[in-house]
Amino acid sequence: MDTMFDLTEQQKKIRTEFYSPKTYSMAEASSLPSCTRLCLGPVQVKSIGETGVVSTGSRRREVQLAMEGTFALLTLWGKEKDLEVVAGELYIVHRIEYCPL
C-alpha cells in the first residue's frame, strides 16, 4: 500500500481546519452551529469542580469559564481532567468541539 502521496489544496485546508481551528471569543462561539470544532479564547477560569466518576467509569472535571459577561461550562475528560488549571487565570482553550445541550 502506497502511503506517500501529495494532498490536494482542499485536503490541506481540511487538515488545517481540523488541527488548527479558528479561535473565537465566547460571544462568537455561542452563535455557532452545534458540534463545531474550534479554539476559544481568551477566557478566564471562574471555578474548578472536583474530579468525578460517571457510570461508565470515565473520570471528568468541570471548569466554569467566563469572559465579557458570557459564561460556559467546560468538561475535561480522561487525562485532561488532570491539567493544572488556576482559578482567575486567562487561558486559550485549543481544539474543542462545541456541542451545546
Q: Which domains does the chain have, with CATH numbers?
A: 24-98 (2.40.50.140)
User: How do strand 52-53 and strand 36-48 relate by DSSP bridges?
Assistant: unpaired
**pLDDT of the residue at 89:** 93
d(CA 62, CA 16): 28
What confidence tier does 29 reach under pLDDT thresholds 50, 70, 90? confident
Which of 14-28, 38-52, 54-68 is the least confident region?
14-28
The pTM of this model reads 0.68
| Helix, strand, coil distribution of the chain in percent, nearest 5 | 20, 45, 40
Q: Is 33 helix (H, G, I), strand (E, B) or coil?
A: coil
d(CA 75, CA 81): 8
**pLDDT of the residue at 96:** 80
pLDDT tops 70 at residue 34: yes
Displacement of CA 101 from its chain's centroid (Å):
15
**pLDDT of the residue at 1:** 56
Pick from 90, 92, 68: nearest CA to 20:
92
pLDDT tops 70 at residue 98: no
